Amino acid sequence: MRILLTGAAGNLGAQLARQLADRHDVIGVDILGEVDRRVDLTDYESTRALVNQVSPDIVLHPAAWTDVNGCALDPQRALLVNGVATGHLAAITSRLAIPLLYISSNEVFDGALHRPYTEVDQPNPINPYGYSKWYGERAIRQVNPNHYIVRSAWLFAHGGGNFVHAIRNAASAGKKLRVVVNEVANPTYTNDLAAAITRLIRTERFGIYHLVNQGAVSRWRFARDILDLTGYAETPIVRISRHEWRRPSLPPEYTPLANYAGASIGIQLRPWGDALRAFLAAENTA
Ligand SMILES: NC(=O)c1ccc[n+]([C@@H]2O[C@H](COP(=O)([O-])OP(=O)(O)OC[C@H]3O[C@@H](n4cnc5c(N)ncnc54)[C@H](OP(=O)(O)O)[C@@H]3O)[C@@H](O)[C@H]2O)c1
């Protein structure tokens, strides 16, 4: 397949580019960075010209403004980058009858359900980042029937700054750690997510998917396991609530994602603890 991949310089995009390159012709684009082409996806005409020129069999769209606090401080920009630009891609691909895969987030849910969210549960975002991702979902669903919407959560990737690196680095610098105990979701290894997406795009089973490593955990428990596995088992972590960790974007409380749609076609990710151990082992041998 000839694949146009947005966000190719990002954490998930770079991993997708690596995993897809064996079997497919991948054209990676991003706003900056070492990619095949640079494009600002908020510019409709540039995006349309790009898709026409590349003439892909499918567009994979992980590009986004992922700074949740930045999104809270500038909701209009969040909506433009994550919502409106996704709508551009939906319209362009729909007109050309090209499938579109969009990466969305656990933060489209409000976290008030207190059971894992299924693919058919109703989103109700509580912050501007979540709203912008949900806007993108709706734009696609209204315009391009040949879509995959893949919701994921708490990504950790090699090379990128993420929660695993932040916790380990804080412990190694001897900093006092305070981590939220009442924010719960599914830590997900980008390598596992990219492998699942690589399989999904061959199915042509369009729809909404929840692709996360299995099992839900609090930020505090996740941090505890990171330290236990990286030689900092003696480092204490103070438990705090979501409201004590002051930041512009308040995350939803309980948003584990249940994977029914993917599991029904044999696409499931391993438990998050196994994924974390594999991630750390790969970091140590790199
Ligand atoms: N990270 C998570 O924990 C998480 C959880 C659930 C879902 N997701 C979703 O998963 C996807 C991938 O996340 P990630 O962590 O891999 O993100 P990332 O590393 O921030 O990558 C996103 C890429 O998109 C680029 N981009 C931003 N604005 C653009 C524009 N106007 N035109 C073209 N490219 C643009 C970014 O460039 P700059 O960096 O230069 O802005 C960046 O290279 C996103 O859609 C995100 O919403 C992420």
Of 66, 135, 219, 259, the one to substitute when testing ligand 1's pocket (max ligand atoms within 8 A of C-beta) is 66
Closest ligand 1 atom to Cα of 152: 6
The owner of tokens 């891609």 is: 89
Q: Is residue 145 part of a domain?
A: yes
Q: Is residue 156 part of a domain?
A: yes
Category of 97 on φ-ψ map: left (φ > 0), alpha (ψ -120 to 50) or beta: left
Q: What is the mean pLDDT of the chain?
A: 97
Q: What is the CATH number of the domain that holds 25?
A: 3.40.50.720
pLDDT the model gives residue 265: 98
**Residue 37's beta-bridge partner residues?**
29
pLDDT the model gives residue 161: 80
Reading across the β-sheet that carries 2-5, which strands appear in turn? 37-38, 25-30, 2-5, 58-61, 100-105, 147-152, 207-210
Q: Is residue 249 part of a domain?
A: no
Q: Is residue 172 part of a domain?
A: no
Tokens of 66: 């992922």
User: How many structural domains does the chain have?
Assistant: 1
Of 4, 30, 108, the one to substitute when testing ligand 1's pocket (max ligand atoms within 8 A of C-beta) is 30
Residues in the ligand 1 pocket, defined by CB under 6 Å: 6-7, 9-13, 30-32, 39-42, 62-66, 81, 85, 103, 105, 133, 152-155, 160
Tokens of 236: 């204490």
pLDDT tens digit sequence for 222-272: 999 999 999 999 999 999 999 898 899 999 999 999 999 999 999 999 999
The owner of tokens 């999104």 is: 71
Is the confidence at residue 2, as pLDDT, over 70?
yes
Consecutive H or E run containing 72 = helix 68-73
Q: Residue 9 C-alpha to ligand 1 middle, in angstroms?
A: 9
Q: Is residue 276 part of a domain?
A: no
pLDDT the model gives residue 284: 83
For the chain, percent of residues with pLDDT exceeding 90: 95
Q: Is residue 28 part of a domain?
A: yes
Q: Is residue 220 part of a domain?
A: no
Q: Which domain holds residue 260?
A: 2-160+187-213+255-270
Tell me 246's DSSP state: -
Q: Is residue 14 part of a domain?
A: yes
pLDDT tens digit sequence for 82-98: 999 999 999 999 999 99
